[in-house]
Amino acid sequence: MSDPIEALPPLREVIAQHDLAARKALGQNFLLDLNLTRKIARAAMPWAADTVIEIGPGPGGLTRALLLEGAPRVIAVERDERCIAALQPLMAAAGGRLIVHPGDALETEFATLAPPPWQVVANLPYNIATPLILNWVAHAEQFSRITVLVQKEVAERLAAKPGGKTYGRLSVAAQWRCSVRMLFDIGPKAFVPPPKVTSTLVELQPRVRPLAEADLHKLERVTAAAFNQRRKMLRAALKPLWADADARLQSAGIDPTRRAETLSIEEFCALARLL
């Protein structure tokens, strides 16, 4: 027997019925092709936790796919009231497996939605993707997996290895706590309306323990100072942290003439431990 979700009207009809003209301020670029959203859902599997949290379900394309691919329970956080109304038939068809939580994802404590660990799957509103991800990776131990569609440029920064221009604070923060993989790209034409840039599905798999010992805030202070002046040698870039930056770097076994983008995450952690 077919799933009642498959009997729902096509997403284009849902959008027309609820007058869901995309709002740029809310980063609304909708995915309407169920084959594609099911591909995203399958890439997020296996379902590692009882609860999948989706940020920004919009008209529900990815939400339908998550449910059809067997996610045990989906809690979808959405701030656009028009979308919340449009999701009601999907909630009814999901038979209790979908909860829509009205609110701002930036201000929603996931612990008020469900106990950890949380699995996140989302086509993120691009304007808030970076702060959301930074907040999640800072508490990576509470997540079973994070699989999100972001601008390709953000995915590249998340996954960057030392030595290139894309390697920076975001790379260190993410990879210190998670292993990061770029899964596949999705071109602008797949979205309504099409964004200007290519998107990439990225997976952040929390590590059992951080890559090296460090205090998060100290690590952030070191990477902020180092990458704020990324073209300078570290002995100059780290002066705001230590008047004797040269000696500190040498005590950590790091050549003071190196630049931030050449340092491994373990080396940044060694510097954070000196703070």
Binding residues for ligand SAM, rule: CB under 6 A, are 26-31, 55-58, 61-62, 77-80, 83, 104-106, 123, 125, 128
The candidate with the shortest Cα–Cα distance to 222, out of 266, 178, 186, 185, is: 266
At its nearest, how many Å lie between ligand SAM and the CB of residue 3? 19
Residues 6+ apart with CB under 8 A from 2: none
At its nearest, how many Å lie between ligand SAM and the CB of residue 66? 10
How would you classify the pairing of strands 52-55 and 199-206?
A: unpaired
CA torsion sign for 31, 6, 103, 50 is: negative
The token pair that represents 236 in the structure block: 């100059």
At its nearest, how many Å lie between ligand SAM and the CB of residue 169? 22
Closer CB to ligand SAM, residue 80 or residue 267?
A: 80
Amino acid at 267: E
Closer CB to ligand SAM, residue 53 or residue 249?
A: 53
Closer CB to ligand SAM, residue 144 or residue 199?
A: 199
Output the furthest CA–CA distance in the chain (Å, rounded): 72
Closer CB to ligand SAM, residue 138 or residue 216?
A: 138
At its nearest, how many Å lie between ligand SAM and the CB of residue 204? 18
The answer to whether the beta carbons of residues 30 and 124 sit under 8 Å apart is: no
The answer to whether the beta carbons of residues 132 and 106 sit under 8 Å apart is: yes
At its nearest, how many Å lie between ligand SAM and the CB of residue 61? 4
Closer CB to ligand SAM, residue 123 or residue 223?
A: 123
- CA distances, 156 to each of 81, 87, 100, 114, 181 (Å): 33, 32, 31, 31, 9
Backbone Cα Rg of the chain: 21
- Estimate to the nearest angstrom the gap between the alpha carbon of 91 and the chain centroid: 25
Closer CB to ligand SAM, residue 62 or residue 93?
A: 62
At its nearest, how many Å lie between ligand SAM and the CB of residue 1? 27
CA 171 – CA 175 distance, rounded (Å): 6
Closer CB to ligand SAM, residue 200 or residue 223?
A: 200
Strand partners, 181: 203
| DSSP 3-state percent helix, strand, coil across the chain (nearest 5) | 45, 20, 35
At its nearest, how many Å lie between ligand SAM and the CB of residue 58? 3
